[in-house]
Structure 1
Amino acid sequence: MQQQNGQLRNGLWIKLVPSLYDKNQVSNWLSRIKYPGSWSADNVENFETNLENLSILQRLQIVTFAFENTAMHYTRHHSMDISPPALYQRLVVEGKGSYCFGMNTLFLQMIRALGYRAYSGSGRINTASPDSPPNFLSFVHEVLFVQPIEGSNITYVVDASGGGSCMTRPILFKDGAKVMGATPSEWHTLVKTGRLESSLECSPNSTEPAGVEWRLVVSHGSDSGPATTRILYSFIEDEFFTMDYECSNIGIYTGAWAEKESLFTDNIVCALCFWLSDEEMEVKLAKTIMPETAKCDVYSAGGVPQWDHSLMSRYLGRLGLHKNELRRHVGTRSETLKVFHTELERIAVLREFFRIDIIQADLEYIRGRAPALELP
């Protein structure tokens, strides 16, 4: 059966799966991410599970919780616990963050608790530079598939992890689907394709790649040159489960894959999205050509929501911490906010900008590790 636009292979439906979180926990999550309205354990069952609300939930999650790996380096156990109880405690109760396995696992279980039909899949991160052939890792990323429309198997891909050039809204599961990123200078596109080295072909002696994987491509505009394009990751439609992520997770935080990918092993990585202010929005809107995109579909054709001061139409910026520098990114502009040289200075930045509180006593756990700065 040929795959239809917006549908999983063979027209598969996602069934409603019970969440691992209860009504009290999902109401506390909604409160933590500041979802509009008053939501208690008594009324979360009245939540309207539609596409727009899914988008709002995704956007609120990535401005609330940091994409970060501090537990790898500032704890005695040097691990990243991605079990649902631990994630609830760390993110919802303590207000800290996690990386993709943790962020998307939390999001999946929370939207299931609200009544969304969803499952998780996995992807391979591309470590190559922009406009270069891809260099894919193993399955070290988590993505979500959601069917948010009642009585329909139309499917959207969601990534609520918030790291790097992250998606900021759902995207229709369709080859060529396009959505705006943080601002109109950034776009995400889905491409269905196959690898040149693949053993599969569409037919004997075919020259077309077997379309068995999907790629999320990000494009960034520039004020002074051509746009850059980069494959963020590839992924497949198969459903992945807890054990799959736990195995990959162990490889990441133990450094077992450090020869292939040392980003998390060698660095304190931290990123967080933030809302642009009304003043920043006015500046951005003055530089944005809207007419040709304002009427397009926001979730598949690159439509830019008309600015109405809502959570759906407000642009996003990103804070990023890497090595000894904190940078603020808005559209095509980037500026350094802080440069630090000691661990005391770094934990002060983590507390002030990312709401991650690390006590001074825990600095002993990073001593001797690759990302350690000057210690007291």
Structure 2
Amino acid sequence: MPTATLASGAFIKPKPSPYSKEQVIQWLIAIEFDAHSENGRSPGALPPPTVENLFIITRLHLLAFPFETTPIHYSPEHCMDVTPEGLYQRLVVRRNGSFCYGLNGLLFGMLLGLGYRAYAGQARSNSNFGKDQPIYWHTSHMVIFVQPIPDSNVTYLVDDGFGGYGLTKPILLSDEESNVVQGLGPLFKHRLRRAVHPQASTDSPDWVLETINENKDGDQGPRWNQVYTFSETEYFQCDFEAMSHFVSASPPDPKSRFSTLRDLMLLKKHTWLEDEPNVPVADRKLGGYVIIGQTLKRVGAQELEVIREIETEEERIELIKKYFDVDVDQDGIDHVRGRKVALVQA
């Protein structure tokens, strides 16, 4: 019996995509698929849903669209549109970014449009990252389960939407020791483990995504840290729209460790770390840029490097355009005024 399957051994059924063939082709153009695929595709045709293409597509999607939360802060609505058409317009047409429900939402729909058998789930982030005891929030992150091999239930976890120490390529749904994939930069790696939620009433384990920074030298050397936990439960578009609204608009509970995106300015743009034209897309090392609050950082080969501290909203908007290719109207300064993330006076 093959490993790396859903616990039930189930085969994911094909489902229709919310996107037309023409929209899928425009998305392939946006992520520059033809320029990075050795096999290419015939004019007007879609690339086949293979394992190789899954790795190429997820990596190029990650590079094309930044993780960003600017509509939550700089728009009058203070929310992110994560409907299929809203995501298509914001990312593919306008070439901006989104957060997990947007980045993974668009990717999920496009994978279905290419003929992949896939479904979407939700994860709980670890708010105590780097510490011995994980503390998991409510479900607030989207993940994708994909079975890319014909007549096989071998399953991959795909996630292009985690703003922190998330995956940069698909990983087999397996906790075998050899199942380790490269993360951001040359020093980060990811693996999957099974663990029981600390508050669970049964001993049934969930999946846990873990990461390690091999450059960290603590008292006991580098260590694996839990990023998030997830089950194999399927969730649907209505669930993601509801959770997107919650994490965009809800003020945090002062009695809780949970922090919503309403009070967090976060952007992350992936770039190639080095010029490696002869290295397969899935194996090239990634770096990039991050804005957390009012700090702009570069993700390099070793650690995060602070580029500058941002003092004004005008400066932050300029840097968002320069480093993340995200359009923010100067009128957005009026919309962010008075919010916790603002660099302007109320």
Q: Same fold (TM over 0.5)?
A: yes
Task: Report whether the alignment pairs 1:24 with 2:39.
Answer: no
Q: Matched residues in 1 for 2:246 and 2:162: separation?
A: 21
Aligned counterpart in structure 2 of residue 192 of structure 1, from 167, 191, 194 = 194
1:41 is displaced (CA, Å) by 7.8
Which deviations, in whole Å up to 9, do the C-alpha atoms of 1:207-245 show, x marking residues without a partner?
A: xxx32x100011111165521432110000011011211
1:371 matched residue in structure 2: 341
User: Which runs of no fewer than 5 residues in structure 1 stay unpaired?
Assistant: 202-209, 282-306
Q: Say whether the 8 Å CA contact 1:189–1:217 is kept in structure 2.
A: yes
1:263 is displaced (CA, Å) by 4.8
1:352 is displaced (CA, Å) by 0.3
1:361 matched residue in structure 2: 331
Which deviations, in whole Å up to 9, do the C-alpha atoms of 1:306-328 show, x marking residues without a partner?
A: x9433122100131101111101
| Distance of aligned partners of 1:139 and 1:256 in 2 relative to their CA distance in 1, 3 Å threshold | same
Q: Say whether the 8 Å CA contact 2:248–2:260 is kept in structure 1.
A: no
1:296 matched residue in structure 2: none
2:66 matched residue in structure 1: 66
Q: Say whether the 8 Å CA contact 2:141–2:162 is kept in structure 1.
A: no
- The 5 Å alignment of 1:195-344 reads 195-201=197-203, 210-211=204-205, 213-222=206-215, 224-225=217-218, 226-259=221-254, 260=256, 261-278=258-275, 308-344=278-314
1:185 is displaced (CA, Å) by 1.1
Q: Say whether the 8 Å CA contact 2:125–2:136 is kept in structure 1.
A: yes
Aligned counterpart in structure 2 of residue 351 of structure 1, from 317, 321, 330 = 321
CA RMSD of aligned residues (A): 2.0
Q: Say whether the 8 Å CA contact 2:180–2:189 is kept in structure 1.
A: yes
1:81 matched residue in structure 2: 81
2:170 matched residue in structure 1: 170
1:164 is displaced (CA, Å) by 1.4
The residue type equivalent to 1:25 in the other structure is Q
Which deviations, in whole Å up to 9, do the C-alpha atoms of 1:283-338 show, x marking residues without a partner?
A: xxxxxxxxxxxxxxxxxxxxxxxx94331221001311011111011232221223
Which deviations, in whole Å up to 9, do the C-alpha atoms of 1:229-271 show, x marking residues without a partner?
A: 3211000001101121122222111124454422512221101
Q: Matched residues in 1 for 2:216 and 2:6: separation?
A: 38
Q: Matched residues in 2 for 1:162 and 1:190: separation?
A: 16
Which deviations, in whole Å up to 9, do the C-alpha atoms of 1:22-46 show, x marking residues without a partner?
A: 01111111111111257688312xx
2:33 matched residue in structure 1: 35
The residue type equivalent to 2:19 in the other structure is Y
Q: Secondary structure at the match of 2:78?
A: coil
Q: Secondary structure at the match of 1:11?
A: coil
Q: Matched residues in 1 for 2:336 and 2:131: separation?
A: 36
Q: Secondary structure at the match of 1:120?
A: strand
- Identify which range, 218-227 or 33-42, moves more after superposition: 33-42
The residue type equivalent to 1:220 in the other structure is N
1:375 is displaced (CA, Å) by 6.4
Q: Matched residues in 1 for 2:303 and 2:244: separation?
A: 33
Which deviations, in whole Å up to 9, do the C-alpha atoms of 1:349-369 show, x marking residues without a partner?
A: 000000011121221100111
Q: Matched residues in 1 for 2:91 and 2:42: separation?
A: 18
Q: Matched residues in 1 for 2:288 and 2:42: separation?
A: 31
The residue type equivalent to 1:30 in the other structure is L
Q: Matched residues in 2 for 1:367 and 1:88: separation?
A: 29
Q: Secondary structure at the match of 1:137?
A: coil
1:137 matched residue in structure 2: 137
Q: Say whether the 8 Å CA contact 1:344–1:375 is kept in structure 2.
A: no
Q: Say whether the 8 Å CA contact 1:341–1:374 is kept in structure 2.
A: no
Q: Give 1 or 2 for the bigger CA radius of gyration.
A: 1
Equivalent pairs, count: 336
1:152 matched residue in structure 2: 152
Q: Secondary structure at the match of 1:56?
A: helix
Q: Matched residues in 1 for 2:124 and 2:216: separation?
A: 31
The residue type equivalent to 2:166 in the other structure is C
Q: Matched residues in 2 for 1:68 and 1:28: separation?
A: 22
The residue type equivalent to 2:200 in the other structure is S
| Distance of aligned partners of 1:356 and 1:344 in 2 relative to their CA distance in 1, 3 Å threshold | same
Q: Secondary structure at the match of 2:62?
A: helix
